[in-house]
Amino acid sequence: MTRDVTNIAVGLSVAAISDLVDGRHGDPFSLLGMHQEGDERFTIRVFLPGAVRLDILSRADSGLIAKAELLHPAGLFIAVLDQACSYSLQIHWPGAIQITQDPYSFEPLLGDLDLHLISQGTHYNLAQALGANLMVIDGIPGVRFAVWAPNARRVSVVGDFNAWDGRRYPMRLRPQAGVWEIFIPHLTVGERYKFEIVDRHGALLPQKADPVARAAEASPSTASVIAPSQPFRFTDAAWMAKQRRSGRQERPLSIYEVHVGSWLRDMQDAGRSLNWVELSQRLIPYVKDMAFTHIELLPIMEHPFGGSWGYQPLGLFAPTGRYGTPEDFSYFVDRCHNQGIGVILDWVPAHFPTDVWGLARFDGTALYEHEDPREGFHRDWNTLIYNLGRNEVKGFLIASALEWLERYHIDGLRVDAVASMLYRDYSRPAGQWIPNRNGGRENLEAIEFFKHLNSIVHQRHPHALMVAEESTAFPNVTKAVEEGGLGFDMKWNMGWMHDTLDYMSKDPIYRKHHHSSMTFGMVYAYSEAFILPFSHDEVVHGKGSLLNKMPGDQWQKMAQLRALFGFMWGHPGKKLLFMGCEIGQGMEWSHDGSIEWNLLDQPGHTGLQRLVRDLNRIYRHSPALQYGDTASHGFEWAVSDDAEGSVFAMLRLDAEREAPILIVSNFTPIFWREYRLGVPQPGRWRQILNSDADIYAGSGAGVSDHASTYDIPSHGREWSLVLDLPPLSTIMLRYEQDQSV
C-alpha cells in the first residue's frame, strides 16, 4: 500500500513547506492530512516538530500501514499510500510513544447556519459554536476549537498538549465568517490553552486567551481552560417556575451587594477569600437570615486585575477562577435558589482592559474595539470601548448576557456604566469625540444595542431582571422597547442616592436649608422604575463609610444611619445595600480586606444589623411598601414642607388602599412631642418599627405602640394623628381599623 517518497515533490512547493515549518501558512489543511495525488496515489503529511519517528496505523485494527518518511528536518513527515484509508498516528517522541488521530483528517466542523449567525451577530448560543467544545466525531472524543479572527494570516491552538508551539495545530479558516476551527482528538476537561495568531502582515502576536472560554486559570495566570460541555444539574426547578409566574417590577426587591473576595476572609488561612462552596455555607444563610431577596455580585467574569473589582473583565463567558470552578459557581447559584434567594450579576459591556493577551487588537486589527481612539479608548479607565457598530461584537455581548442567564440560571444582570455608552462625548472634552451620523452626541449604535439586548433577553427569559446603572437624565431607560424605550426593567436612582447622602452629611442644624434634597426624588420618582442604591461606589476612593458620612458623635452617627435606612425602606423604589453597611462598618471598604465583623460585639452595630433585618421583613410582608415602588398612586406625602423641624412623613398605599403604612422621619436631635400630622382616614395606627427603640440600641424614648386619629384637620386632611417623634429616628405605623368598628 505504500510508495517510496524519495525524490518525490508530492505536490508541495519549497515556499509552502517553508511557510508551514515557520508557522506562517494560512491554509494548513491544504497541505496536511490525507490528499490524493493523481489517480493512484494518496499522501499523508503530518507536521510534528520534535518527533523522532512517525508510523501510520490502521484505525480499525491498529495495524501498521506505513512508516512515514521525514520530508523536512523541522518535523514534516510524509507517507505515500496506494489507496485512501482511515488511519491513526503513532508518534515516537524522545522517551515516549503517543497514538492519536490526525486533526487534519477531519472535515469542516461548523455548519453554514452557525457561520451565518456568527457573521450576522445573532448566534445567541455563541459558546456552543466558538471556544473549546467537547465532542465526539466519528467515534473519537476530543475538543473542537473555533475563534473569530477574520484578519489573521494564521491562527493556532497552543497549550500544554503541544508544548505551546504554534506551529503544531494551525487551524482552518472559514472565510465566510472569518472563523478559524480545528478538532484536536483526545483532549479533555481541564487542559489549558490559548490562540497563537500571526497577523495579516506576518507579525506574531502575543498568545491570546479565548474570548468565549467558559473557564480560565485563576489570576495572575491568563490561559483559558477547557470546561465541561454539559451544564450543571440544577435542582432549582421550583424557584425558576415561581420566577416565571411573577412580574419583574411588582415583586419585592431588596438586594445585598457583595464583592465576593472581601465579604469574609479566612484569617486562619493567611486571610484568603472564601470559595464558592464556603460562601454557600456562610453567605447564603446570612443573606437569608437578613431577609434580603437577592444577592448582587460585583462582576465575577474573569478579570486580570483584582483591584478593578471585576469591572475590567476579559472573560465574559467564564466565572473567575479565583473562587473555584464554573461548576462550583453553579452550585452556589443553585443553593441560593433553593434558599429562596435570587442572584443578580454586574455585567460590563461598556469596555475592556488593554492587556495584550486579551481582546485588544485581537487579530492584529481593532477587532472588538474602535480603531479611532476618539471612539475606542476610554480616558477615565484606560480601557478600550466595544465597537457596537459590528454585528459580531454585538452578538458576542448579547450571547455573553444569555450565557449567564441560561447556563448559570442567573436571575438578572445589572448593566454597568450605561451612561458612558449612551453618549459619544461622555467624559470627553471638545474635539475629542466624533458626533453621530446626525451630528449629535447620542451613541446611536449603543441605543440600538440596548434595545436589541433587552428584547432578546425578555423574549427568551421573561422573568429576567435587566437593571441599568445610568446616571443621567436619558429618557425612557425603563420603558418597553415597543414604546420607544431602552427596555430595561429597573434603573439605579443615582440622583436620589447623591441627594440623600448630601443631606445626611449636613449637621442637623443646617438641614433645614437643604430640605428639598430629601423631597426632590419624588418629583421624578415615577419617570423610571427605580432601585435606590447605597452601593460600593459610595464607600471607596476616600468617600469613607456610610456611618462616617453622618455628623456627630458615635451614638448620633448610628442613630442617623438607622433613621436613614428607615427612610430608605419607606421611600418608593427597590432597595440595594452594599455589604458592611448593614452593620455600620466604620472603615472605608477595601477589596483586599474584609468586613469588620468584630464590630458585632458592640450593641450599636448589632442593633443596626437587626434594624436592617426587620426592615427587610416588614418590606417583604407589606404590600403597601411594594405597590408604590412603581405605581404613583401608591404614594402620598403626609408631611413634606416641615423644613424647620426636618420632618418627613410618607404614606405608602396598597392597591386597595386598605392597609396604608405611615413612615415618619425626624432628622434633628430634638424630641418632637405631640407632633400633629394629617392622615387619609380615621382609625387606629399601630407602630411596626421605631429606629430609636432599645432593641436597635436607640434611646428607647417612650413612644406609644398605637395612635388613634382625631377629628381635627391637618396638612390638608380631615383627620390627624398626634405622635411623639424620637430624635434622629424613623418610625413606621400601619393602619389597622376604623374607629367605629
Residue 471: pLDDT above 70?
yes
Residue 4: pLDDT above 50?
no
Percent of the chain at pLDDT > 70 equals 98
Tell me the pLDDT of the chain averaged across its residues: 95
Mean pLDDT, range 121-127, rounded to an integer: 97
| Interior angle at CA 421, CA 147 and CA 224, nearest 5 | 25
Give tens-digit pLDDT for 623-666. 999 998 988 999 999 999 999 999 999 999 998 888 999 999 99
Question: Are the C-beta atoms of residues 385 and 439 closer than 8 Å to each other?
Answer: no
Residue 345: strand pairing partners:
297, 413
- The catalytic residues are 416, 469
Give tens-digit pLDDT for 184-243. 999 999 999 999 999 999 999 999 999 999 999 988 999 999 999 888 999 999 999 998
Residue 406: pLDDT above 90?
yes
pLDDT band for 738, please (50, 70, 90 cuts).
low
pLDDT band for 699, please (50, 70, 90 cuts).
very high
DSSP string, 456-518: HHHHH-TT-EEEE---S--TTTTS-GGGTS---SEEE-HHHHHHHHHHHTS-GGGGGGGTHHH
Give tens-digit pLDDT for 349-402. 999 999 999 999 999 999 999 999 999 999 999 999 999 999 999 999 999 999
- pLDDT for res 360: 98
Question: Are the C-beta atoms of residues 495 and 481 closer than 8 Å to each other?
Answer: no
Give tens-digit pLDDT for 81-92. 999 999 999 999
- Greater confidence (155 vs 249) lies with 155
Q: Find all residues with CB under 8 Å of 688, minimum gap 6, and list them.
A: 618, 661, 732, 733, 734
Nearest to 374 by CA among 418, 424, 420: 424
Residue 6: pLDDT above 70?
no
Give tens-digit pLDDT for 249-293. 778 999 999 999 999 999 999 999 999 999 999 999 999 999 999
Give tens-digit pLDDT for 202-213. 999 999 999 999
Q: How far apart are CA 127 and CA 214, in angstroms?
A: 8
Residue 9: pLDDT above 70?
no
Give tens-digit pLDDT for 526-556. 999 999 999 999 999 999 999 999 999 999 9
Question: Are the C-beta atoms of residues 700 and 694 closer than 8 Å to each other?
Answer: yes
- pLDDT for res 49: 95
Residue 193: strand pairing partners:
159, 224
Q: How far apart are CA 317 and CA 210, in angstroms?
A: 10
Residue 737: pLDDT above 80?
no
- pLDDT for res 184: 98
Q: How many CB atoms lie under 10 A from the CB of residue 476?
A: 15
DSSP strand pairing (294-297 vs 254-258) = parallel
- pLDDT for res 127: 97
Domain ranges in the chain?
Answer: 2-105, 628-737
Predicted structure pTM score: 0.95
Domain 628-737 part of CATH 3.40.50.300: no
- pLDDT for res 247: 73
Percent of the chain at pLDDT > 90 equals 92
pLDDT band for 741, please (50, 70, 90 cuts).
very low
- pLDDT for res 229: 87
Tell me if domain 2-105 and domain 628-737 are identical in fold. Answer: yes
Nearest to 733 by CA among 685, 699, 695: 685
Residue 3: pLDDT above 80?
no
Domain 2-105 in this protein, CATH class:
mainly beta
Nearest to 412 by CA among 484, 372, 463: 463
